């Protein structure tokens, strides 16, 4: 069953002359368009749909079977059909499932967590002060986000992240660190990723002591072959997708950076949201609503990009994290049955933290020719101190969502704001580990439900393989000793080699 985008577009054209300002003025709308789930509050009053359009969206959810899709996910069914496996990130953080097989996975995850806790304790009792986490994509972005968001100034360890294969990244990361007080964790689900193996080799050599080299992988043999002692290798599993894996031992840098207790709280926040996504009625279900809103903006309004704008410095890496989560999951054009999709899937996700971005790209959001729907995220409590700054931050957050929605007419076209630019406002009381866990789980489930509506697989990523294969093939050509077939690549290589004196 695929989305009837014509029906959605009919609602969109019916609403063409009804601006957000008018929709939002409907009595009771600001309240009725607010959903709550544990520590999360989200208000959809400034989206460009009315009740009739929402009914059409909920028909999409019905036809796609959102509630049973959530059940299939948490019960470990083969939701990753192209690779023939489950995607059980929910089993890493709770017991949402009643399936004995999934409970067994959850028990495996708890055992791994216990081993991880013991390694955290051992490192805490050592002279190590700095951790270099080496990984890329799903083996980097989640831990990087959470450590950046939640690490406290008096943290036991400073955690550094090294991902890019560019040697400048390794040079910069290691500069200023003392090898005798540093440990490294090589994180790679496959343990075959070029960037991680090259960077891991650099850090291991720089350390000069293998007893402070740790690994996290679903391929323990390869990690051991790299020279990591088995007692310092933590497992993950093929039933966890890389970009859904921060809740597993991939979160080892998180546990070191924020402490094991707060890591557990992060997991319990996500598990709380899992229970909501599985159990809440469709109309109260925040994951359902978030996914349907994304579908509305993409398939009814035809909007090609989506911004995520956290108004909290600690969430500055959320857009980077979500780019992988959303775009690697939903960047597909073939349906599960192999047919070409007849509707658009993922928009380009981008963003950055407010208020900085107000002074960079917001001009385009307000007056550019492309309408960009946005998720604004705010934290109510002022946890950074400096109350006056926090009030200013919140005032800016509210002002921007209002200005984008309502606009402002002017006789001078250069000074006119068209408005009618949709946004969702998500509020957290505080940026606690629980709240961050719930927020990330919201996006995970929204992404999955969008994939269900589009009939695509959110858990594979074949699109990244071709470039990797070509890069491996071209590697010898950079030393001048390989045949290159493509004429443009050959000319470019000649140019590079000539310029580098080869
Ligand atoms: O970018 C492709 C990808 O396969 C991601 O899906 C994954 O998170 C990343 O590479 C790293 O893979 P690994 O954890 O196996 O090193």
- Residue to probe by mutation, ligand 1, list 80, 137, 163, 197, most atoms within 8 Å of CB: 137
Task: Examine the domain organization and report whether 304 and 377 are in the same domain.
Answer: yes
Instruction: Give me the domain span that covers residue 301.
Output: 5-65+282-462
Task: Examine the domain organization and report whether 328 and 190 are in the same domain.
Answer: no
- Give the contacts of 253 (CB within 8 A, at least 6 positions apart): 131, 133, 143, 147, 159, 161, 185, 187
CB 190 within 8 A of CB 219: yes
**Percent of the chain as helix, strand, coil, to the nearest 5:** 55, 10, 35
Decide if 74 is inside a domain.
Answer: no
| Cβ < 6 A, ligand 1 pocket | 136-139, 188-190, 193, 196, 242-243, 328, 461, 464
Decide if 477 is inside a domain.
Answer: yes
CATH number assigned to the domain comprising residue 482: 1.10.1390
CATH number assigned to the domain comprising residue 151: 3.40.50.10490
Task: Examine the domain organization and report whether 293 and 438 are in the same domain.
Answer: yes
User: For 337-461, where are the alpha helices, taking DSSP H only?
Assistant: 362-367, 387-406, 433-454
The total number of structural domains that make up the chain: 3
Task: Examine the domain organization and report whether 370 and 347 are in the same domain.
Answer: yes
Q: Per the residue annotation, which of 77, 89, 276, 328 is the catalytic one? A: 328
Task: Examine the domain organization and report whether 288 and 420 are in the same domain.
Answer: yes
Task: Examine the domain organization and report whether 293 and 372 are in the same domain.
Answer: yes
Q: Which among 209, 229, 260 is the end of a domain?
A: 260
pLDDT of residue 98: 86
Decide if 328 is inside a domain.
Answer: yes
Task: Examine the domain organization and report whether 136 and 159 are in the same domain.
Answer: yes
Residue with the two structure tokens 């953080």: 93
Decide if 85 is inside a domain.
Answer: no
Gap between the Cα atoms of 290 and 268, Å rounded: 21
Neighbours of 175 (CB within 10 A): 7
Decide if 275 is inside a domain.
Answer: no
Gap between the Cα atoms of 400 and 318, Å rounded: 19
332 counts as catalytic: no
Task: Examine the domain organization and report whether 249 and 359 are in the same domain.
Answer: no
Decide if 160 is inside a domain.
Answer: yes
Gap between the Cα atoms of 7 and 435, Å rounded: 36
pTM above 0.90, yes or no: yes
Task: Examine the domain organization and report whether 159 and 213 are in the same domain.
Answer: yes
Task: Examine the domain organization and report whether 424 and 489 are in the same domain.
Answer: no
Q: Which among 260, 292, 322 is the end of a domain?
A: 260
Residue of minimum CA distance from atom 2 in ligand 1: 464
CA distances from 361 to 305, 397, 407, 423, 472 (A): 14, 15, 17, 16, 37
Task: Examine the domain organization and report whether 250 and 362 are in the same domain.
Answer: no
Give DSSP secondary structure letters for 433-465. HHHHHHHHHHHHHHHHHHHHHHT--TT--GGGH
CB 59 within 8 A of CB 1: no
The CA dihedral of 74, 76, 77, 83, to the nearest 10 degrees, is 120
- Ligand 1 centre distance from Cα of residue 141 (Å): 11
Q: Per the residue annotation, which of 181, 383, 386, 468 is the catalytic one? A: 468
Gap between the Cα atoms of 415 and 421, Å rounded: 17
Residue spans of the chain under pLDDT 50: none
The two three-digit tokens of residue 463, written as one number: 């699109």
Task: Examine the domain organization and report whether 305 and 320 are in the same domain.
Answer: yes
Decide if 147 is inside a domain.
Answer: yes
Q: What is the atom index within ligand 1 of the atom nearest the CA of 135?
A: 16
Under the phi-then-psi rule, with left for phi > 0, alpha for psi from -120 to 50, and beta for the rest, what region is 191? left
Decide if 449 is inside a domain.
Answer: yes
Residue of minimum CA distance from atom 8 in ligand 1: 138
The two three-digit tokens of residue 177, written as one number: 């660190």
What count of residues does the chain have? 502
Gap between the Cα atoms of 92 and 95, Å rounded: 8
328 counts as catalytic: yes
Quick one: which of 203, 202, 190, 220 has its CA closest to 115? 220
- Ligand 1 centre distance from Cα of residue 193 (Å): 7
468 counts as catalytic: yes
**Could you tell me which residues are beta bridge partners of residue 268?**
none
- Give the contacts of 17 (CB within 8 A, at least 6 positions apart): none
- Ligand 1 centre distance from Cα of residue 189 (Å): 7
Residue of minimum CA distance from atom 3 in ligand 1: 137
- Residue to probe by mutation, ligand 1, list 191, 461, 471, most atoms within 8 Å of CB: 461
Gap between the Cα atoms of 83 and 460, Å rounded: 7
């Amino acid at each position: 069953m695929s989305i009837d985008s014509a029906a959605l577009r009919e609602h969109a054209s019916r609403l063409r002359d009804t601006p957000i300002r008018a929709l939002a003025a409907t009595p009771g709308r600001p309240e009725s368009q607010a959903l709550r789930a544990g520590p999360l509050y989200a208000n959809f009053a400034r989206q460009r749909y009315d009740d009739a359009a929402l009914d059409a969206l909920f028909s999409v959810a019905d036809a796609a079977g959102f509630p049973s899709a959530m059940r299939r996910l948490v019960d470990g069914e083969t939701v990753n059909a192209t690779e023939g496996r489950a995607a059980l990130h929910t089993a890493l953080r709770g017991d949402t499932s009643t399936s004995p097989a999934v409970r067994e996975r959850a028990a495996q995850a708890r055992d791994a967590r216990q081993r991880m806790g013991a390694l955290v304790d051992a490192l805490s009792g050592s002279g190590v002060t700095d951790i270099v986490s080496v990984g890329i994509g799903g083996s980097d972005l989640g831990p990087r986000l959470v450590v950046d968001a939640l690490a406290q100034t008096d943290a036991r360890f400073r955690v550094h992240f090294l991902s890019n294969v560019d040697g400048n990244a390794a040079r910069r990361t290691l500069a200023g660190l003392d090898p005798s007080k540093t440990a490294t964790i090589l994180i790679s689900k496959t343990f075959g990723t070029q960037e991680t193996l090259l960077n891991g080799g650099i850090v291991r050599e720089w350390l000069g002591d293998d007893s402070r080299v740790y690994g996290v992988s679903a391929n323990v043999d390869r990690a051991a072959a790299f020279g990591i002692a088995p007692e310092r290798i933590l497992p993950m599993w093929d039933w966890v997708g890389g970009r859904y894996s921060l809740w597993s031992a991939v979160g080892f840098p998180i546990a070191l950076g924020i402490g094991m207790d707060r890591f557990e709280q992060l997991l319990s926040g996500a598990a709380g949201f899992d229970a909501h996504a599985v159990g809440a009625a469709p109309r109260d279900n925040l994951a359902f609503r978030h996914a349907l809103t994304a579908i509305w903006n993409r398939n009814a309004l035809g909007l090609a990009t989506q911004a995520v704008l956290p108004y909290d410095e600690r969430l500055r890496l959320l857009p980077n994290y979500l780019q992988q989560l959303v775009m690697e999951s939903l960047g597909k054009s073939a349906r599960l049955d192999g047919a070409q999709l007849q509707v658009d899937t993922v928009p380009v996700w981008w963003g950055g933290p407010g208020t900085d971005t107000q002074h960079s790209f917001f001009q385009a959001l307000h007056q550019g020719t492309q309408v960009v729907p946005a998720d604004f995220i705010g934290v109510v409590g002022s946890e950074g101190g400096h109350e006056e700054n926090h009030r200013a931050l919140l005032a800016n957050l509210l002002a921007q969502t209002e200005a984008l929605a309502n606009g402002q007419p002017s006789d001078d076209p250069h000074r006119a704001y068209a408005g009618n630019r949709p946004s969702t406002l998500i509020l957290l009381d505080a940026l606690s580990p629980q709240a961050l866990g719930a927020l990330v789980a919201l996006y995970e489930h929204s992404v999955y439900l969008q994939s269900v509506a589009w009939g695509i697989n959110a858990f594979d990523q074949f699109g990244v393989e071709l470039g990797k294969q070509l890069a491996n093939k071209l590697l010898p050509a950079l030393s001048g000793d390989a045949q290159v077939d493509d004429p443009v690549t050959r000319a470019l290589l000649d140019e590079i080699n000539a310029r580098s004196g080869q």
